Amino acid sequence: AQSVTQLDSHVSVSEGTPVLLRCNYSSSYSPSLFWYVQHPNKGLQLLLKYTSAATLVKGINGFEAEFKKSETSFHLTKPSAHMSDAAEYFCVVSDRNNDMRFGAGTRLTVKP
């Protein structure tokens, strides 16, 4: 069975500085990987996904993630944080049956 570990429960950055949210996965099959964002009192919105094409995936709002099979990682990055990026971020792994397993989430705080 597949699983995902988000290495930080909380990340705090200053506005304008880079963001790094870390995610490691475990899967016995070639996984699909997703990052979703959840703003307070809102549903989950897809940021980006990897499905075995290019290993560097670009998403919405300037986010991107790189699939590294050798490290079983799918870290989310953004060059410059904006106040509106403050939210909860979920890394998700799914197998060939699209059984999605969510990480515990990383809360991103952006300081002015």
Would you call 23 exposed, middle or buried from its count of C-beta atoms within 10 A (0-12, 13-18, 19+)?
A: buried
Asked if 25 interacts with another protein (CB under 8 A), we say no
Q: Is the dihedral of CA 49, 84, 43, 3 positive or negative?
A: positive
What gap in Å lies between CA 1 and CA 25, rounded to an integer? 11
Which residues ranging from 68 to 107 are in contact with another protein (CB under 8 A)?
A: 90, 94-105
Supply the minimum distance, in Å, between the C-beta of residue 43 and another protein. Answer: 4
Asked if 26 interacts with another protein (CB under 8 A), we say no
Give contact residues for another protein (rule: CB under 8 A): 32, 34, 36, 42-46, 49, 51-52, 90, 94-105
